[in-house]
Amino acid sequence: MTRRPLTLSPRHRPIAAIGIIFIPLLFLVAFFFWPLANILRLSVTVVGVEAVLVRPYFRHTLWFTFWQAILSTGLTLLVGLPAAYLFARYTFPGRSVLRALTTVPFVLPTVVVAAAFRALLGSQGVVNQGLMAFFDLSRPPLRLDQTIGIILLAHVFYNTAIVVRLVGGFWANLNPRLNEAARTMGASRWRAFREVTLPLLRPSLLSAALLIFLFTFTSFGVILLLGGPMFSTLETEIYRQYVNFLRPDIAAVLSLFQIIFTFVVMMVYTRWQQGTAVSLDMRPEKANLKRPGTWPEKVAVATIMGGLCLFLVTPLLALVWQSLVDRDGNLTLAYYQALPQTRRDSVLFIPPLTAVRNSIGYALLAVLLAGGLGLMTAVVLARPGAASGSPLPWRKWADPLFMLPLGASAVTLGFGYVVTYSSLRTSALLVLIAHTLVAFPFVVRSLLPVMQGIKPGLREAAAVMGATPGRVWREVDLPIVGRALLVAAVFAFTVSMGEFGATSFIIRPNSGFLTMPIAIERFLSTPGGALNFGQAMAMSVILMAVSAAGFIAIERFRYADIGEF
């Protein structure tokens, strides 16, 4: 007598799905919604609301947050569109390397981006040192420290990849014959672009603009390190009101406003994506690529390539260079050799190398926690319901629900943690929870598209042949999802290594649980001569190398370019 394999009836499958999804949902409620609810409770105070509404300083902060985000978005589109066109229409030697290079800044932690621009354009930066030596000057000629100019440059540097990926990826698949038909009918090149190509690109353009606006509106590390006390956004002001001025009521009011606004932007973004899907004559990217033939095309391609390389590579090279030279310009490894040591006058209470080990430890644990929670979530969201094969009704709201942490400010999240879990204020556990929550949406979005692409017939055939649900998962799903799991793990590791906003609230300066981004910020924010600056550069290079290696691994193991990041 053969033993019948254990299977779930269609009636019990929804119950099993709810059971699996309960753990990630409980995690989300406890460490996302409950802290935000506490911020709401704290913000409803007459004193806090009056202070924010009456004082002109907060109105100025709000206005600066808006206009710098709008200006950053416009400049990023201006820089990114020529690059998007280059990758969408032309093939040339080194194209894949240059395209990957445009994405590296986006995966870098914000403190590394800020450190790179300090290394390039700061008062001790490579450009100022070169100009002082060449013209025999006693003072740095470029005064870009704590100016809006260096903030905007860093934002454009950080977000150009969004335009290249979203707009360029869509542009690369548009049929160029639509534009050629308009040219045949007498339209100029500019008119054909304006009346044919631009309307087709509008959905991807607006999606990219909304994302860039959201990222620059909630910018924290760049503003804090490059703007200094001269410039303050909602993000930095929440941090300063709580940490420096001990006003949690005002910080709560500012956080509530930011929560509402970022969620509105995310809602507009998702609704726009859902409502602008149109049927287009799309072609494979390779079919649209051509080599530059005429001299104007060659000059244009060479100019865009040179400009991209100069803009994207120079800050990173300056970062490496500043970590390897002393104040007199001599090559040295002293800054790296000082990382295992604790100086008596150091701004850290632990050796910088301990912060490196802490970050790696947090990242490895975040991979396990975010990976497990994300896998459970993706398994349920990707599975069809009952016998009909259609998604269960509650999954329509469950999918965006689990993506909410992606649109939340890390600073607001960190503030919610310290007011909700005060007993864990100095615990490394709270840091790990914050890192897990920040990485969790990236894991889900890396796994879900691949799991949704698995043909149900494969699972059904295995079940018909007597395989149990566990064996179906092990022998059908896992071989397909394996590479996506690796990508998700690398995402979680990289995001955790660079997390700065929430951790800056949780970790105290004298804590032994400092992470690399916090250590870099303290070195850059504390005057202490060349050693503090050099150690900040050395740690930034290490963090940059880890992030870049993670991105290369993601591109290498991505399953057929499927994924949403």
More confident: 394 or 261: 261
More confident: 165 or 324: 324
Residue 525, pLDDT score: 79
pLDDT band at residue 390, thresholds of 50, 70 and 90? very low
More confident: 170 or 480: 170
Residue 387, pLDDT score: 36
Per-residue model confidence as pLDDT tens digits over 163-172:
988 888 778 7
Residue with tokens 């806090």: 48
Query: Minimal CA–CA distance to 358: which of 491, 535, 499, 224?
Result: 499
Tell me: pLDDT of 254 over 80. yes
Q: Mean pLDDT score of the chain, rounded to an integer?
A: 80
pLDDT band at residue 5, thresholds of 50, 70 and 90? very low
Per-residue model confidence as pLDDT tens digits over 70-125:
999 999 999 999 999 888 888 888 887 788 788 788 878 888 898 899 899 988 88
Other beta carbons within 10 Å of 106: 19
CA–CA separation, 408 and 279 (whole Å): 32
Query: Minimal CA–CA distance to 98: which of 269, 258, 275, 309?
Result: 309
Domain boundaries, the chain: 24-54+335-565, 59-322
Per-residue model confidence as pLDDT tens digits over 193-225:
777 777 778 878 888 898 899 889 988 889 988
More confident: 288 or 291: 291
Other beta carbons within 10 Å of 257: 18
pLDDT band at residue 18, thresholds of 50, 70 and 90? low
Residue 271, pLDDT score: 64
CA–CA separation, 380 and 367 (whole Å): 20
CATH topology of domain 59-322: MetI-like fold (1.10.3720)
pTM above 0.85, yes or no: no
More confident: 137 or 458: 137
Per-residue model confidence as pLDDT tens digits over 436-479:
999 998 888 778 777 776 666 666 666 667 666 666 666 666 66
Residue 152, pLDDT score: 95
CA–CA separation, 130 and 532 (whole Å): 21
CA angle in degrees (0–180, nearest 5) for 328-334-338: 135
Which segment of 144-153, 265-274, 314-323, 381-390 scores lowest on mean pLDDT?
Answer: 381-390
pLDDT band at residue 279, thresholds of 50, 70 and 90? very low
**Maximal CA-CA distance, the chain:** 94
Tell me: pLDDT of 489 over 60. yes
Same fold, 24-54+335-565 and 59-322: yes
Tell me: pLDDT of 541 over 80. yes
pLDDT band at residue 346, thresholds of 50, 70 and 90? low
pLDDT band at residue 148, thresholds of 50, 70 and 90? very high
Does the 24-54+335-565 domain belong in CATH 1.10.3720.10? yes
